[in-house]
Amino acid sequence: MSVKTTEERTINEKSETEAPVSHAAVPDKKAVQPKRKKSKSYAGLAIFELLAILGLGCFITWQNFIEPQLDDRKTVPASTQSAQQEEPQVRTRAVIEKEESFYQLSGKKILMHDDTYGEIYMPVFEDVPACTLDLDNLITRNGYSFYKEGNEVTSIAGIDVSEHQTSIDWQQVRDAGIEFVMVRVGYRTYGGGNITLDANFRENIEGASAAGLKVGVYFFSQAANTDEAIEEADAVIDAIEPYDITYPVVFDWELIYGDSARTDTVTVEALADCCIAFCERVRSAGYTPMIYQNKNTALMKLDLPRLKDYDFWLAEYNDAPSYYYDFQIWQYASDGFIPGIEGEVDLNIAFKDYSQPDAPVQPATTQNESVPVTTPESTTAATTTSTAAE
């Protein structure tokens, strides 16, 4: 057994204690390097994913919001391109407002009769103007209605026509005491949704104007949304541009009975939106907008508080209207007979002369004692037309 000197033991102890430290230091340095590289790769991947998400978001925003608006501005119907080149026309898109403050109830009720439920009551909207006519002044004789104030007839006699009336002798119509006519410009089919112009609308407008009648127009709508309502308004505006239209341009949206229609599922809210879109488009083109509807559909389907600012054309076939709210034209019969027209025709009276919008309704020169169509005291011609109806 050899004996180590003190110096040898010291050297051996140093080598035994320092060697592990030296061996441990080398692997630690090598182990740090891969961790730094892995952290950098994760950061690069995160940046790439963020840029991809931002790019995708920009693409979706452009495709769904910005590009359609640019397309709407660029797209011009072929029928209006030539006219716009001569004189630019501005047509606006309505801002649709929907507020709960529209619906203020007065506490009154409207009694109605329904085929299914019998008697039903509907609340009265306080902020929708009520009818101010004195119904005692409404008189019906020999199938013709008129409104008198004092000893004077203040209503204006009118009719509405379409291609269903075929050829019309407008001078005979004027001589019979008719002063205004509402001409159908066109309609949208309730099945396929195609816009079609009335075959006789030009002939009717030109003939009525030449005979001295005041002319308004209407469009039979089957719009299912605001874009379609605006499309219908544009079709009307383009069609009547050459003519002097002094009476309203009317939105005539109707329910289809006895068949399924593309508008069967249109909601109350959507219908009100369509009315506003059509009327504001018409107003922006310089015409007076109006809404046509029968009594029951008006009360059950129209959102009247949202539509109260538009004039109303009421269809209710009675000796006197029972519609609670205000209206400016009353269609009181669908089976009238007027000289110059073969077959039946709708009869109307207006309580406002739209050809003079700033003036009150004045007694019309033709609605006097000598005109049998609108005067009860003289009934010769009226009796003739009533006999024809029988």
pLDDT tens digits along 297-322: 999 999 999 999 999 999 999 889 99
**Given this model, what pLDDT does residue 59 score?**
78
Which residues touch 243 (CB under 8 Å, ≥6 apart)? Answer: 205, 206, 209, 215
User: Please, which pLDDT band fits residue 87 given cuts at 50, 70 and 90?
Assistant: low
Q: What is the CA radius of gyration of the chain?
A: 38
Q: List the structure tokens of 62.
A: 């452009």
Cα(53)–Cα(214) distance, integer angstroms: 62
- List, for residues 7-57, the tens digit of each pLDDT value: 444 444 444 444 444 444 444 444 444 445 555 566 777 787 788 788 787
Q: Residue 253 has which token pair?
A: 């949206």
Q: Higher confidence at residue 123 or residue 61?
A: 123
- For residues 128 and 305, the answer to whether their CB atoms sit within 8 Å is yes
Residue 112's pLDDT band, with cuts at 50, 70 and 90, is confident
- Minimal CA–CA distance to 226: which of 291, 150, 277? 277
pLDDT per residue over 203-262, tens digit each? 999 999 999 999 999 999 999 999 999 999 999 999 999 999 999 999 999 999 999 999
**Sign of the alpha-carbon dihedral angle for 193, 72, 250, 124:** positive
Q: What pTM value is reported for the model?
A: 0.70
Phi (first) and psi of residue 138, to 5 degrees: -85, 125
pLDDT value at 123 more than 50: yes
| pLDDT > 70: percent of the chain | 72
Indicate the domain borders of the chain. Answer: 1-75, 130-389
* CATH-assigned architecture of domain 130-389: Alpha-Beta Barrel (3.20)
Burial of 179-211, coded b for 16+ CB within 10 Å and e otherwise, reads: bbbbbbbbbbebeeeebebbebbbbbbebbbeb
Residue at 268: amino acid letter: V
Question: Which comes out higher in pLDDT, residue 59 or 174?
Answer: 174
CA 203 from chain centre, in angstroms, equals 27
Q: Is the pLDDT of residue 381 over 60?
A: no
Among 257, 362, 275, 321, smallest CA distance to 94 is for 275
Q: How many CB atoms lie within 10 A of CB 386?
A: 16
Q: How far apart are CA 205 and CA 215, in angstroms?
A: 7
pLDDT (tens digit per residue) in 355-372: 986 644 444 443 433 333
The pLDDT, as a whole number, for residue 114 is: 82
Predicted confidence (pLDDT) per residue in 182-217, tens digit: 999 999 999 999 999 999 999 999 999 999 999 999
CA atoms of 71 and 79, how far apart (whole Å): 18
Round to whole Å and give the CA distance between 386 and 224: 40
